[in-house]
Amino acid sequence: MFGMYRGLVVSGAILAGFGAFLIIIDLFVPLGASIFGLPISITGAVMFAVGFFREEPKPVEPEPGKKFCWYCMKQIPKEAVECPECSLPQHGPAE
């Protein structure tokens, strides 16, 4: 069974649309934009197609009783006010 990576599908569609826009605009105002539009639209189409066969990435969660430091992204104790790794204060509520 395969899933769908919605973010990849949407970003591929946006990129393919922007590439198509560059190609179409080059027909009316010949500035050479289709040189960039063709690879952009091909890349967007590939991203769009691959997005239907890729799984959504799993969310990264800290171990029980820990949280991620806001600055260095290391796992630290949930009740820590200051990160033992980078010595920077933690802001916001401990989740």
Domain coordinates of the chain in residue numbers?
6-51, 60-95
In terms of Cα–Cα distance, which of 71, 61, 60, 81 is closest to 94? 81
Between 91 and 83, the more confident residue is 83
pTM of the model: 0.65
DSSP-derived secondary structure for 7-24: HHHHHHHHHHHHHHHHHH
Residue-wise pLDDT tens digits, 41-69: 999 999 999 999 998 888 889 999 999 88
Distance of CA 61 to the CA centre of its chain: 17
At 92 the pLDDT is 65
Residue-wise pLDDT tens digits, 10-47: 999 999 999 999 999 988 888 877 788 899 999 999 99
b/e sequence 2-21, b meaning 16+ C-beta within 10 Å: eeebeebbeebeebbeebbe
pLDDT > 80? residue 93: no
